[in-house]
């Protein structure tokens, strides 16, 4: 599995998503509840950036219609979105947040 550096751990703020582009793929990096998650940054319902939404209870909420995606699985827990968004494996090495674009689910 190949990991690429996404950002520095020290630049992340709790519950504040950070949008990065990895090999042309938009990814939202989220530090919450003591863990760091990487989730595809486009809502599965429409072309909207999830990193502009709020984080709560290990979910990220789409600001446009309010579907909430589980940061662990990418699955939505409320309509109108019905399809999951990809989530990606994360590794922390020192101050580096590394992400593998291999899809987890
Ligand atoms: S665009 Fe995200 S829920 Fe509609």
Question: Per residue in 67-104, pLDDT tens?
Answer: 999 999 999 998 999 999 999 999 999 999 999 997 55
d(CA 87, CA 40): 6
Tell me, yes or no, whether 104 lies in a domain: no
Q: What tokens does 39 get?
A: 């989730």
Domain count, the chain: 1
* Average pLDDT value for residue range 9-38: 97
Residue 17 lies in a domain: yes
Task: With respect to residue 30, please indicate whether it lies within any of the assigned structural domains.
Answer: yes
* 105 — pLDDT class (breaks 50, 70, 90): very low
65 lines ligand 1 (CB under 6 A): yes
Mutational test site, ligand 1, from 28, 41, 42, 48, max ligand atoms within 8 Å of CB: 48
Which contiguous run of DSSP H or E holds residue 96? strand 96-100
Task: Give, in order, the Cα–Cα distances in Å from 53 to each of 3, 10, 41.
Answer: 26, 21, 10
- Work out the average pLDDT over 23-46: 97
On whether the pTM is more than 0.75, the answer is yes
Q: Which domain holds residue 66?
A: 4-99
Tokens of 9: 């751990």
Tell me, what CATH number does 11's domain have?
Answer: 2.102.10.10
């Amino acid at each position: 599995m190949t990991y690429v550096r996404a950002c520095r751990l020290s630049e992340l703020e709790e519950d504040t998503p950070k949008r990065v582009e990895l090999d042309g793929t938009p990814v939202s990096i989220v530090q919450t509840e003591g863990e760091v998650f990487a989730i595809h940054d486009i809502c599965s319902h429409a072309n909207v950036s999830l990193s502009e939404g709020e984080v709560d209870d290990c979910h990220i909420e789409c600001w446009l219609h309010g579907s909430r995606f589980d940061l662990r699985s990418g699955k939505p827990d409320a309509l109108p979105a019905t399809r999951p968004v990809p989530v990606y494996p994360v590794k922390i090495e020192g101050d580096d947040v590394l992400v593998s674009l291999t899809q987890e689910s």
